[in-house]
Amino acid sequence: MFSEKLEKARKYEAEKMTEVSAEERPDFHVTGGIGWINDPNGFSVYKGEYHLFYQYHPYTTQWGPMHWGHVKTKDFVKWERLPVAIAPDEKFDEKGCFSGSAIELPDGKQLLMYTGVSETINKSGEKIDVQQQCIAIGDGTNYEKYENNPVIDGAMLPAGGNRYDFRDPKIWKENEKYYAVIATRMEDGSGAILKYESEDGLHWNYVLTIDRSANELGRMWECPDYFALDNKQVLIVSPQEIPASDLEFHAGNGTAFILGEEQESGEFVRESIKAIDYGIDFYAPQTLETLDGRRVMIGWMQNWTTSNCQKPGQKYFGEMTFPRELFVKNGCVCQKPVEEIESYRCNKVTYRSVKVNGEVILPEVSGRVIDMTVKVKAAETEKFSNFTVDIAKDDKFTTTVRYERDRQILCIDRSRCGFPNDIVHMREFKVQEKDGVITLRFLMDKHSLELFVNDGEQAATMMLYTELSATGISFTADGNALMDLEKYDLKFEE
Ligand code: FRU
């Protein structure tokens, strides 16, 4: 028995989805069936498979009343689409089923924990949205909203918390107990991450506040995640309204790894803060623990600032990043594309010690669905100051990744990729050579680039809107650089 709203969304998706051909979609990145998607939700293991839900408005390519779309996979590469999971069809979520997470219950059911948005009248008599945490339980395809929703509401906030900004629960299980981290906005306008606990996933108590932005790293923090990694503890947050200060965080919506230790009391003590992705299109990441114990993260491959400026004629909008494995190295959280992608590699091309002085184009080095790693260093006793890789290039268009050696900066620039609006097209960030070498891995899937620097020390992600016929790649140095290269095409035929 499904609500009218859910039936309508399922039917609409099934009909309209067929208007988008496989050629128009990326080959190995998740997209919505049709319409708009944002944050990944409910990224979790269920019955031995990996499930991913997402914020979904099927009816237009703009954000609207949020549903949850749904896909699953066995290897993070090939995804199967499932029907829309939940719709905003109850009093407690009538204005939207906002972000949340999922977990498998001991009885074999799947529990979804999400933020229900409803409407109330405030003291001044104005209509205002209220956010509270709700549950839906199902079998991996169909879900029923829990009869006693909401399970956590404004009455369960600590002093100073705010029920108008109280969202994005991330649930996990530890020592037979359920826990969730949830974001709220405190009285001073800044974000806080709250921890709750439960015996059964349905009845919850507030435990403590894990961390606060204190208006230093942005204001409201969205989409928290919290987990142990390599003997450390990691808090992931997506802060809003960060003022850019140096090249670590750009202005607007950003994302951060906060690395620290968890005390026995449950208190979290920060050790370092680092941007998760230094590119343009990345937000609201969420993680899961794989069946073989890896911590894997997926993010929305878009950002709020640029998402309302779309290329005309799009039938669907938004993609997820490729899932990335996280690990701690030298006190920093690092990330690399999950190894499953490697079994789809073919047509290997390698070059060793190519001298780059001016522009170099190499036979068989081109393409838009590729996995390519370039290692660059200065030729002995000689120098270069700029090394540029041009991708998705033809006579008219190009997207560049430029290493400015004197400034120790990497610059990604899509301003000449063919996009018709002057949105954010460029970012710079600090990088460090390792023994005189800089390593750049390009994971490309038609209209996206995920760039990994120095074996995952940093990542930079962006969409690029160039026609698929632009497959050129070239390398340019203004001195003498030496380059090693390994490139694969990625193929996904049955
Ligand atoms: C983050 C976010 C979440 C919210 C959702 C609504 O991108 O603003 O905080 O739950 O999107 O779609």
97 closest CA partner among 139, 138, 135: 135
What single-letter DSSP state applies at residue 434? B
Give me ligand 1 centre to Cα 38, in Å: 8
Answer yes or no: pTM beyond 0.95: yes
- What is the spatial distance between Cα 87 and Cα 350, in angstroms, rounded to a whole number? 49
Alpha carbon nearest to ligand 1 atom 6, residue = 98
Give me ligand 1 centre to Cα 154, in Å: 18
Please give the number of the atom of ligand 1 that sits closest to the Cα of 222. 9
Map residue 155 onto helix, strand or coil. helix
Please give the number of the atom of ligand 1 that sits closest to the Cα of 55. 12
In angstroms, how far is CA 369 from the centroid of its own chain? 20
Give me ligand 1 centre to Cα 174, in Å: 26
- How much is the pLDDT for 309? 80
Please give the number of the atom of ligand 1 that sits closest to the Cα of 300. 7
What single-letter DSSP state applies at residue 305? H
- How much is the pLDDT for 336? 98
- How much is the pLDDT for 81? 98
Q: Which two tokens stand for residue 167?
A: 């969202």
Give the mutation target among 41, 118, 164, 168 for probing the ligand 1 site: most ligand atoms within 8 A of CB: 168
- What is the spatial distance between Cα 93 and Cα 98, in angstroms, rounded to a whole number? 8
Alpha carbon nearest to ligand 1 atom 8, residue = 222
Give the mutation target among 99, 117, 282, 301 for probing the ligand 1 site: most ligand atoms within 8 A of CB: 99
Give me ligand 1 centre to Cα 55, in Å: 8
pLDDT in tens, the chain (494 residues): 799 999 999 999 999 999 999 999 999 999 999 999 999 999 999 999 999 999 999 999 999 999 999 999 999 999 999 999 999 999 999 999 999 999 999 999 999 999 999 999 988 999 999 999 999 999 999 999 999 999 999 999 999 999 999 999 999 999 999 999 999 999 999 999 999 999 999 999 999 999 999 999 999 999 999 999 999 999 999 999 999 989 999 999 999 999 999 999 999 999 999 999 999 999 999 999 999 999 999 999 999 988 888 877 889 999 999 999 999 999 999 999 999 999 999 999 999 999 999 999 999 999 999 999 999 998 877 788 999 999 999 999 999 999 999 999 999 999 999 998 899 999 999 999 999 999 999 999 999 999 999 999 999 999 999 999 999 999 999 999 999 999 999 999 86
- How much is the pLDDT for 494? 64
Count the helices and strands in the chain (H runs, E runs): 2, 31
Residue with tokens 């992600």: 461
Please give the number of the atom of ligand 1 that sits closest to the Cα of 223. 9
- How much is the pLDDT for 381? 73
Give the mutation target among 68, 181, 219, 222 for probing the ligand 1 site: most ligand atoms within 8 A of CB: 222
The per-residue DSSP string of 189-219 comes to: S-EEEEEEEESSSSSEEEEEEEEE-TTTS-S
Q: Which residues are catalytic?
A: 39
- How much is the pLDDT for 106? 97
Give me ligand 1 centre to Cα 96, in Å: 10
Measuring from each residue's beta carbon to the nearest atom of ligand 1, which residues come in under 6 Å? 38-39, 55, 66, 98-99, 115, 167-168, 222-223, 283-284
What is the DSSP pairing of strand 316-317 with strand 35-46? parallel
Give me ligand 1 centre to Cα 172, in Å: 20
- What is the spatial distance between Cα 479 and Cα 483, in angstroms, rounded to a whole number? 13
What is the DSSP pairing of strand 143-145 with strand 127-138? antiparallel
